[in-house]
Structure 1
Amino acid sequence: MSGTPPDDDGTEPPGSDDPLGLAREIADSYRGTGAPLRPRRRRTDGSTPRRRKSREDPTTVADALGALVRQQGWDDRLSAQRVFTDWSSIVGPEVARHSTVDGYEDAVLHVTTDSTAWATQLRLLAPRLVARLNEELGDGAVLRIDVRGPQAPSWKRGPRSVKGRGPRDTYG
Structure 2
Amino acid sequence: MSGRDLARQALAAARAKAEARGVEPGVRKRTAGASGQNPRRRRWSGPGADPRDPQPIGRVMSRLATDRGWSQRLTDGQVFGQWAKLVGEEVAEHAQPVSLKDGELTVRATSTAWATQLRLLQGQLLTKIAVAVGHGVVKRMRIHGPTAPSWRKGARHVSGRGPRDTYG
- TM-score, normalised by the number of residues in structure 1: 0.60
1:30 aligns with 2:35: yes
User: What corresponds to 1:106 in structure 2?
Assistant: 102
Distance in 2 of aligned mates of 1:77 and 1:165: 43
Residues 65-119 of structure 1 show CA distances to partners (whole Å, capped at 9, x for unaligned) of 3213334565455334211111111111111001111111111111111111111
Is 1:70 aligned to residue 66 of structure 2? yes
Letter in 2 for 1:29: A
Higher mean C-alpha deviation, range 65-74 or range 107-116: 65-74
Structure-1 residue corresponding to 2:50: 53
Residue correspondences, number: 127
1: CA distance between counterparts of 2:66 and 2:108?
A: 32
Match of 1:64, SS state, is: helix
Give percent identity, aligned residues only: 38
Gaps of 5+ in 1: 1-27, 34-48
Larger % of helix: which? 2
**Which segment is superposed worse, 85-94 or 149-158?**
149-158
TM superposition shift of 1:156: 3.4
TM-score normalised over the length of structure 2: 0.61
* Residues 1-172 of structure 1: pairs in structure 2 closer than 5 A: 29-31=34-36, 50-54=47-51, 62-71=58-67, 74-157=70-153, 163-167=158-162, 168-169=164-165, 171=167
Structure 2 distance, partners of 1:171, 1:141, is 48
Structure 1 position 137, deviation (Å): 1.1
Q: Distance in 1 between matches of 2:117 and 2:165?
A: 33
